[in-house]
Every structure is written in C-alpha cells, then in structure tokens.
Amino acid sequence: MSSLSSVEVGSTKQSVASVKWARRREVAREVLQNPLTVIGLVIILLFLLMAIFAPLLTEANQPDPYQSPRDWANIDSPPGVAGHVLGTDSQGGDLLYGVIWGSRLSLQLSLTVVISTLVIGTIIGSLAAMRGGRLDNFLMRVVDVFLSIPELIFALAIAAVLGPSFRNIILALVAVFWVKYARIIRGEIIRVKQAEYVAAARVVGDSTWNIYRKDVLPNAVTPLIVQATLDMGNVVLIGATLSFIGLAQAGLTEWGALVSAGQSGLLAGHWWVSTFAGLAIVLWALAFNLVGDGLRDVLDPKTEGR
C-alpha cells in the first residue's frame, strides 16, 4: 500500500513538473510571437555581447578600463578621423570606447539595483502581507512616504548628499526603487492568500513558512518579473540623469557623463560627442520597455487579449 502511494506521489510530481514546463514553453512561444518584443530582445542581446566582450572590442590595457584613454592630439575629432570610429570629445576621449565600456557599466548598474531592490522589496512586502496587523500598517506607511517623493528628485537628493561616485548612484537608486517591489508583492501575496489551495495547505497543517515558500510566493512573483524588466531600462535612465548633472566620477565611461561632456560641443557643431551615448541610452531603455510590455501582455491575465 505504501509503495503504491509512493508511485502515485511520484507520478503526481512528474505531472506537475510537466505542466510547468509546458506553461514555460507556451509563455516563451507567445513572447516570441510579438515582433516588438523580439526587437527588444535582439537589442538587449547586442548590448549584452558588447558588455561581455568589451575588453576584446577595445583592446583595453590600462589600470582602470572605465576611464577613457585620451588622445590629446585629436580633440573633438569627427567620426572616422585618426582611427576614432565615433570621434572624440573635448578631452580627446574615444567615444566608441566610452559607448562600449558604458554598456558594461549600465549592465552593472541595472543588475545591481534591480536585484538589490527586488530582494529588499520582496522581504519587506512579504513580511507585511504575511504578518499583517500593526507591522503591516507601519511598513506600508513607510512605503507611502517613499512613494510620495518623485523618484528622480529623491535619487538626486540622496546622491548629492553622499557625493559624486558611481557607487553612491547605485545606493541612491536602491533607496528609491525598493518601495515599488514591496507594494507590488504585498498586494499579490494578499490576493494569493485567499486562494483555495492556500486554505487547503493550512488545513493539512503546513507551517506558515512552507505555505509562503511553496504556495504563496511562486504564485505572486509574476508582476515582479515584469516590473524588474521595465526597471532595467528605468534605472539606466535615472542613473544617466544623475551622471549628466555631475554626480559620477570625472572621466567615467558612463553614458550620461558622455552626454554631459558633449553638451557644450553641440554649440560648436560637435554633434557626435553627445549623440552616440544618448542613442545608446534610448536604445537600452526602449529595448527593456518593449520586452517588459511583451512579458506583461503574456503573464498578466488582466491584460490578456489587449
């Protein structure tokens, strides 16, 4: 009898696993059927390859590869002059070098901020939703205070207090972005907690931790995935804004800093200094927004058939 039960349990687990794999394949197929999402994925792949192979693409052999090498003999050179494919800035910095290494910095910035805020927001939102009561009220009031301040102004204030550095930009963005994830996961957990399978798990005596780990969290993370994808673009936009106004180190190969370095050159006709870094920012944000919208259309049932 016990062996029969073990067989039944094993077959049940296999059927559940097969259903999950089938659902994942279906999601992947539906995502790839959207041409805009595919375009976004291709752009992201190109940026990812650029970031990974940055040392090979630029043949960098200097102590700090994120500081663009200077060619003082060719200042404000237009694209194609003296071996500089995208030209140089007013300090002789190679713009192609800056765009390539800027992609690695942007990837580092977005991944660090999104993963950190996702973890922090999930912990705080889950704690509020699972415990409820006074703790929930207190944590959500804290979240409301953070949400009442515009993201850019809040990040600007924090980065200005901490001082100009790339690390401080990351800290400022983490302090700004975590509240969205806390709010989202709290609402989703409260919704999932009302499901029948969660009530059944309580009836059979599962602990609160097991219910949260096996039944609640896996069914509440879908909106977080969509939000994280969108924020991969939003983080770079706000980070570039902070760099543009001088909150990054001087000479850093960051796209916002490159755009800032070229703003005076626009008046002198040096259009290329800001153009290529600005185009990289636009493409990065556009790509992740296209992919995020595609995932939301597939994963969020409220947008089904939109």
pLDDT tens, 194-220? 888 888 888 887 788 888 888 888 888
Instruction: Name 296's Cβ contacts closer than 8 Å, sequence gap at least 6.
Output: 226, 303
Per cent of the chain over pLDDT 90 is 33
| Residue 11 within a domain | no
User: Has residue 67 been placed in a domain?
Assistant: yes
pLDDT, greater one: 262 or 121:
121
In-domain check, residue 6: no
pLDDT given at position 44 = 95
pLDDT for 120 equals 95
Residue 151 sits in a domain whose CATH number is 1.10.3720.10
| CA dihedral over 220, 177, 293, 22, signed as positive or negative | negative
**How many domains does the chain divide into?**
1
State residue 21's pLDDT score.
60
Residue 70 has pLDDT above 60, yes or no: yes
In a domain, 280, yes or no: yes
Is the pLDDT at 5 greater than 60, yes or no?
no
The answer to whether position 3 is within a domain reads no
Predicted structure pTM score? 0.84
Let me know if residue 243 belongs to a domain: yes
Q: Which residues contact 117 (CB under 8 A, 6 or more apart)?
A: 173, 174, 177, 178, 180, 181, 231
Nearest to 227 by CA among 158, 153, 125, 145: 125
Work out the mean pLDDT of the chain and round it to a whole number.
Answer: 83
Domain that holds residue 224: 17-71+79-303
Over range 218-239, report the average pLDDT. 91
Position 4 in a domain = no
81-121 pLDDT tens trace:
777 888 888 777 888 888 999 999 999 999 999 999 999 99
| 264 domain residue, yes or no | yes
- Phi–psi pair at 93, nearest 5 degrees: -75, 135
pLDDT recorded at residue 281: 94
